[in-house]
Amino acid sequence: MRNQNQPVALEGYPFIGLFAFITIVFGLLGWGFLTFVMFALTLFTVFFFRNPERLIPDEPGVVVAPADGKVIFVGEVDEPRCLQGRAVKVSIFMNVFDVHVNRFPCDGKVIDSFYNKGAFLNASLDKASLENEQSGLLIETEQGHRILCVQIAGLVARRIVSYPEVGDVLKRGMRYGLIRFGSRVDLYLPVDAAVRMRVGDRTVAGETVLCTLP
């Protein structure tokens, strides 16, 4: 699995290299203001693709946040695509200043996946859950619980990256993908999960406990 130890996500290297190259060219041409702008953009790109280490909780039966960001929805909904029934949805919105490397929410096996092309609405809108470009993983734990984790592209995001394939077994907190430049992640949990988060709470991917499974 990619990006398990790198301090900067590998997907950011082409952007960082391009902006750094343009910075050097502008500097050699003596274009001071443009050099400063491109240097700042290079630094921001390094910052955006940062991939910090996290302290993964070892408490049994917990599900951790798959993304850094702000909780914008917690509630029971219908999930007809993979779970085919009621589920508790927790939506986490990532702005451009949040870490965008996503982490696996629990120990489990990927038993299904999907990718849907779509629109690029503001990821904080409710209808982005269904209409935006998205990639989903259906996870089954050893206890038989099924959890759906969906990466959703945002207003300026144009690329979802998801590494796992059906059949892969991952551990809680492992990096499993990212979304470039603003987005959200929806997590669909069993209705009897004991959710610990409320709307407005901030999450840290791999560290913040979202719920305890029954």
Q: Are the CB atoms for 152 and 183 separated by under 8 Å?
A: yes
* Cα gap 29→49, rounded to integer Å: 28
Of the residues 91, 129, 162, 183, only one is catalytic, namely 183
C-alpha atoms less than 13 angstroms from C-alpha of 135 in its C-beta half-sphere: 17
Closest to 181 in 3D by CA, of 67, 65, 100: 100
- 183 noted as active-site residue: yes
DSSP-derived letter for residue 19 is H
Buried b (16+ CB within 10 A) or exposed e, 121-148: bebbeeebbeebbbbbbbbbbeeebbbb
Active-site residue numbers? 183
